[in-house]
Structure 1
Amino acid sequence: MNAIPTTFIVQGTLWLLGLFSVLTWTLIVAKAFQAWRASARNRSWAKAFWAASTFQAAAQVEGASSPAGRLAQAGFDALRRADESGAQDLEHSWSRHDLLERHLRQQIQNERRSLEAGLAVLASIGSTAPFVGLFGTVFGIIHALTAITRSASASIDVVAGPIGEALVATGIGIAVAVPAVLAYNFFVRRVKATLGDLDAFATDFVTLAQRAGFRVHGAARAPQPVRQTTAEAFA
């Protein structure tokens, strides 16, 4: 293997690691904004929800922009549809209690998918970036050995450049992996905490619905899609 392809491989490895770094920090910023926005909107919506005088009044609180609000809306819509539907088939054979719990579980899974979007990319970068750096290191050493063979000399002038490139590739690989792994662990903990809060609220919601006889007045609203962020495009 001659020196020119080897050099191109090392340079390509460095560019790939640079791309990984840009992607990592883009996801970190996007997921941090998503987590902050979800937390702030949950607090705002929960304050309005628990300030409502009755369960029926709480159904009118707009919450499409927050995970907890969408969860509550899914529950209210399930109860409304149960009132409006007179069909007698398997889809509508659930008791109101079971129907409500099923829709709440489905909405929690929808929120989970939204919150976890992009985390697989962070995990992949964190686990592969050091090996990509080592890949560049190997070819950097091959370049150094080739240079020694051609010049029949192992002087510092001959090997310093290729060995330096090899060490840079290893260092960049580690530098890219560390923030990706730390960010992945942080956001996984945030997702678990958010889902725990949603599970707790779902339990409270079922209790409130039971006190209201599993009935809520008003027409069902159109289902609200889960909004995506930049990070979710990489799911």
Structure 2
Amino acid sequence: MSYLTNSVAVNLTLAVLFVFSVVTWALILSKFWQNTRGNKKDAAFKQAFWAAKDLHEGEKVARAHTGDMAELTTAGFAALAQTTEVSLSLDSLGDRKDILERTLKSELQQIQHRKEHGLMALASIGSTAPFVGLFGTVWGIMHALKDISLSNSASLDIVAGPVGEALIATAFGIATAIPAVLAYNYGLRRVRTTVAGLDQFATAFLHLVMKTPYRAEGKKAEVKD
């Protein structure tokens, strides 16, 4: 039996579902590659950062690496470089902490939004593909019934062929939706897990900076009379 039917509407439905399927698998492969590469980068950076002797060396490590965790750390050091405190008074520490917390939170949100890119497309395909296939089936059955009425015969041989071909659209719709839904759920869990890990690292980095004297290179402490 050919997958193409005599109904133009069914053919167009199958074409749309084929495009949906291509987009779904392209996003699945892209997300898998991004997650695998990102995990390796974050693991390498985390090991190198915590092996650093001090924050200045840690900053160099962050600038030498790529990945979400290195990007988050670099943003934190950049925020610290903008502060002008020259003492470790409670006031300066409070301002320093607020600036760093806001910066890390903003960077985390940007990373999360970037990682969620493409997931809405998977969710949309997963929710609409079955209905697109059902539309093709209904239209194909209507077309088949019209042809049967014109043939003045309702034998099984005449009815089964067109109706069976029309049902292919529903099967294609379900086959397209299942990978999209599974990929969306898995991708969403991966995003939440990754962001949670970055949040834990950001908290540890914040505590480290608060209890460790640090000034950006090139800044000199003011000498008070």
TM-score range, shorter chain: 0.7 to 0.9
Q: SS of 1:83's equivalent?
A: coil
Note if contact 2:45-2:65 (Cα within 8 Å) is conserved in structure 1.
no
Q: Count residues with an aligned counterpart.
A: 205
Q: Does 1:15 align with 2:15?
A: yes
Kindly report which structure 2 residues correspond to 1:8-47, keeping only aligned pairs within 5 A, or say none: 8-47=8-47
Moved more, 155-164 or 99-108: 155-164
SS of alignment partner, residue 95 of structure 1: helix
2:208 corresponding residue in structure 1: 208
Residue type of the alignment partner of 2:98? D
For 1:116 and 1:167, the matched residues in 2 are separated by 34
Q: Distance in 1 between matches of 2:196 and 2:121?
A: 23
Q: 1:101 to 1:63 in 2, by over 3 A?
A: farther
Quote how far apart the aligned CAs of 1:155 are. 1.7
Residue identity opposite 1:99 in structure 2: I
AA matched with 1:186? Y
Alpha-carbon distance in structure 1 between the residues aligned to 2:132 and 2:217 = 58
3-state DSSP class of the match of 1:108?
Answer: helix
Aligned to 1:60, the other structure's residue is in SS state: helix
Q: Is the CA contact (8 Å cut-off) linking 2:59 and 2:77 kept in structure 1?
A: yes
Q: 1:150 to 1:34 in 2, by over 3 A?
A: same
Q: CA RMSD for the aligned pairs?
A: 1.7
Letter paired with 1:137: T
Q: Distance in 1 between matches of 2:165 and 2:132?
A: 14
CA contact (8 A) 1:45 1:63 kept: no
Question: Which residue of structure 1 lines up, in the alignment, with residue 133 of structure 2?
Answer: 133
Which segments of 5 or more consecutive residues in structure 2 lack a partner in the other structure?
A: 1-5, 86-93, 220-225
What amino acid does structure 1 have at the position aligned with 2:194? T
CA distance 1:63–1:189, change in 2 (3 Å): farther
| Cα offset, 1:216, TM superposition | 3.1
- Counterparts of 1:59-98 in structure 2, within 5 Å, are 59-61=59-61, 62=63, 65-83=66-84, 95-98=95-98
Change (3 A) 1:186 1:9: same
| Counterpart amino acid of residue 72 in structure 2 | L
| Cross-structure match for 1:229 | none
Partner residue, 2:3: none
Write out the 4+ residue segments of structure 1 that deviate beyond 4 Å after TM superposition. none
Separation of aligned partners in 1, 2:143 and 2:41? 55
Q: Is the 8 A contact 1:80 1:219 kept in 2?
A: no
Residues 1-235 of structure 1: matches in 2 within 5 Å? 7-61=7-61, 62=63, 65-83=66-84, 95-213=95-213, 215-218=214-217
Q: Which range is displaced more, 72-81 or 164-173?
A: 164-173
Deviations 1:7-54 (A, max 9, x none): 110100000000000000000000111111110100001011010011
Structure 1: distance between partners of 2:32 and 2:68: 15
- What secondary structure, in the 3-state scheme, does the structure 2 residue paired with 1:216 have? coil
Look at both structures and tell me which one has the larger radius of gyration over its CA atoms: 2
Cα gap change, 1:63/1:129 in structure 2, threshold over 3 Å: closer, same or farther? farther
User: Is the CA contact (8 Å cut-off) linking 1:140 and 1:162 kept in structure 2?
Assistant: yes
Change (3 A) 1:166 1:219: farther
Whole-angstrom CA distance in 2 between matches of 1:63 and 1:32: 25
* Residues 1:172 and 1:189: Cα distance change in structure 2 (over 3 Å): same
Q: Percent identity?
A: 47
